[in-house]
Structure formats: structure tokens, C-alpha cells
Amino acid sequence: MIGILWILNGITSCFVMAGDSNVVPVSKRTEKVSFQNGVDHYSGTVDTEIWALAPTTLLESNPNASSDANNDGGESQVLIRFDNIIGSSPNQIPKNARIASARMHVSAFDQGSTVNLHRMLVPFSKSATWSSVIDGISADDLEASRHKDSFTFGKIAANSSTIVFDVTDTVQAWATGQANHGWVFLNTGGNGWDFYASEFEETEQRPKLVVEFERAR
Ligand SMILES: [Ca+2]
Ligand SMILES: [Ca+2]
Ligand SMILES: [Ca+2]
């Protein structure tokens, strides 16, 4: 009996060869994909700030976005979605995959109050504004889930601006057929928390979704 272990392109597999013909997997294959605008031809991130004080202004092309419960007197919220993540292409999550982990990474540059990340339950467009979604987004189980997927205290570490959100449960729901409407960042306080959007010139600081999964059998 011979054990073989190899690592290739993020895929870790371990097989034991029984005799000289049958190859028996002894651990499931975990594969990894990531989605970040400008990397590996991906361009599916849609992110925009909506602001109560500029209720019809399109902020989608801004290189940064702020969530702030009191941004100069009106709330700012941030909507984000990664389109085309489920499918049969090599760099997509296959339908019905078991999601081992899903993490959204954003690069924050301004500290703020605690910010909660909620799953969106209704679609939003690139041209969403505070008015178009009717007075912003409410986490009311109608527009966005009451339950929060994840949160940040809004602080930025001295050695890294990257903030990581665990979104495993939501990406699992999408892999098994629920509609992907993205997320909304809702700040709980009046100290704005800002990060670089998908238009930011430095690719590596754009929002990134990293997913590890096992294919359905
Ligand atoms: Ca944007
Ligand atoms: Ca609303
Ligand atoms: Ca701030």
C-alpha cells in the first residue's frame, strides 16, 4: 500500500492506492476559488454607498465606500455583491458544493464604530441610491436579514488594514440555490468606517471573496 500526498493549485488531495489498480480517496478534495475585480479576469463585484443626504446620487464608481449611521447628519450604508460565483467554470463554486469556508476580505482605511454585515434579501442594481431602495436598507428580514452574518469592531490593526468577514453560511445558501443578492454593511454608530471599493486603483486592496469547498458527489 502506497500513500501519496500532493498539493496543486490550492487543491489538496490524499489518495491511498490499494493493490495496483484501485485508487481510493481517503480525504475529500477541498478546492479554493477567489473573486476579486481585476484578478483572473473576474469583474463581477458590484459595490456602492448609498447616503441619506444625497438620496439620488450614484456613488457606485467611487473608489471607496463608507458606512456611518450619522454621516454629516444622514446615514451611509454600503451594498456589495459578487456576481457569477456559482457555476460550472473552473473558477466558480459548483452548484450544491459543501462550503468549508467563505471569507470576505476588505481593506479598511478609516476606523469607525462597530459595523454589522447582513445578507441582502432583495436585488439591488449598480445604480442603487438611498431613494431607489426606499430610505436605505433595513435589516428587517424583508430587505436584509435581521441576523448578521458577521461584524467588525471597526478598528484597524497596526500591521494590516484587511478586515475578514466569515460568510460561510450565506455562501452555502447560495450554492444550494438561494438567490445571491449580496450583503449590506450597517454601521451601529456615528463614527464612519471606510474601505476601498472594487474601483480602487490597487487591485489587491479591492474587496475579495475567498471560498473553500468540496464538490457534491
Ligand atoms: Ca463600486
Ligand atoms: Ca428600504
Ligand atoms: Ca471614522
**Nearest ligand to residue 110 Cα:** 3
16 CA → ligand 3 middle, Å: 54
Question: ∠12-92-122 over CA atoms, to 5°?
Answer: 130
pLDDT at 28: 73
Distance CA 159, CA 117 (A): 23
Tens digits of pLDDT across the chain (217 residues): 344 444 444 444 444 444 445 555 555 789 999 999 999 999 999 999 999 999 999 999 999 999 999 999 999 999 999 999 999 999 999 999 999 999 999 999 999 999 999 999 999 999 999 999 999 999 999 999 999 999 999 999 989 999 999 999 999 999 999 999 999 999 999 999 999 999 999 999 999 999 999 999 8
Distance CA 75, CA 33 (A): 34
Write down all domains in the chain, each with its CATH number in brackets. 31-214 (2.60.120)
75 CA → ligand 3 middle, Å: 13
Distance CA 16, CA 200 (A): 46
